[in-house]
Amino acid sequence: MPSNLHPMLNVAIKAARAAGAIINRAALDVEAVRVSQKQVNDFVTEVDHASENAIIETLLTAYPDHAIMAEESGQKHGRQGSEFVWIIDPLDGTTNFIHGFPVYCVSIALRVGDRIEQAVIYDPTRNDLFTATRGRGAYLNERRIRVSKRTELSRCLISTGFPFRPGDNFNNYLRMMAEVMQRTAGLRRPGAAALDLAYVAAGYTDGFFETGLSPWDVAAGSLLVTEAGGLIGNFTGESDFIDQKECVAGNPRVYGQLVGLLSKYSKFATAGEKAQVRQAANLVAPETAPTTHASDAPDDRSPE
């Protein structure tokens, strides 16, 4: 990490560490944490709220005229209309946290106008601090990080997130997974999208894709990836993706190959590309289909 950190990044680091301390204390007795459900398979805990409050207090104490966009409290804090907007996920990977599965993080980004300028992703279980300032590179603790150098998809490790919300097109996701899985060395689903993007930036994984993500899931990670030499966008390769609920990232060569595989599944795909997906879904009749292999296209019926 450079010695002359941007002042706003310093404040974000302080906020992330304060949230991480709250999370680590709660993790000592996770079964005592009160949990509520926002919707099916989408949980929130008192730890999410306490962490978010600590982050917001730290940020607004330093910058009272800035705006806030937070996962749990929305945009009710700060001065709305400011060109400086802090985008916060106080605990990305809540489901992992409440099960004691140690893959979760704090994510904080600063958007100025339409560009992410500062980013912090903090993994409190490992004390790993990922940071980036636009134009100054990406860092993990004291070390400059870069995306991986792998170019052959068959040698790559790719991370993703499975659909879990009501209305998600699960069968469509199975087809995307089949496209990627049979062409790569492995597919992983850790369960915290912000940390997935940090791992792409650090070269631990070679690429990432997921749908249904919100700005607080991807804002900080997007700057880490680009400052580490990678690319990030929607499934058709457009870089203005943060509010579009689909994301693909990777080193430049892997990113291009993933876009080539996934673009037809994008909400922005052409009519012809969408027809290809529908045709693939109907290649195997579900009533007579043999045992499915990775290369087989699953049927397009909703799961029971």
In SS3 terms, 83-146 reads as CEEEEEEEEECHHHHHCCCCCCEEEEEEEECCEEEEEEEEECCCCEEEEEECCCCEEECCEECC
Q: Phi and psi dihedrals of 149, rounded to 5? A: -105, 5
φ/ψ bin of 146: left (φ > 0), alpha (ψ from -120 to 50), beta (otherwise)? beta
Report the DSSP pairing between strands 84-92 and 67-70. parallel
Integer Cα distance of 47 and 26 in angstroms? 7
| 243 appears as a binding residue in the annotation | no
Cα 121 from Cα 13, distance rounded (Å) = 9
One-letter amino acid identity for 120?
A: V
Burial class of residue 81, CB neighbours in 10 A (0-12, 13-18, 19+) = exposed
End-to-end Cα distance, the chain: 50
168 appears as a binding residue in the annotation: no
Q: Is 231 annotated as a binding residue?
A: no
* Closest to 116 (Cα-Cα) out of 93, 83, 140, 89: 83
Contact 202, 145 (CB under 8 A): yes
Euclidean distance between CA atoms 133 and 10, whole angstroms: 11
Answer yes or no: is 217 a known binding residue. Answer: yes
- Return the exposure string of 220-229: e unless at least 16 CB atoms fall within 10 Å of the residue's CB, then b: bbbbbbbbbb
Task: Write out the binding residues for Mg(2+).
Answer: 71, 89, 91-92, 217
Binding-site positions read 71, 89, 91-92, 217
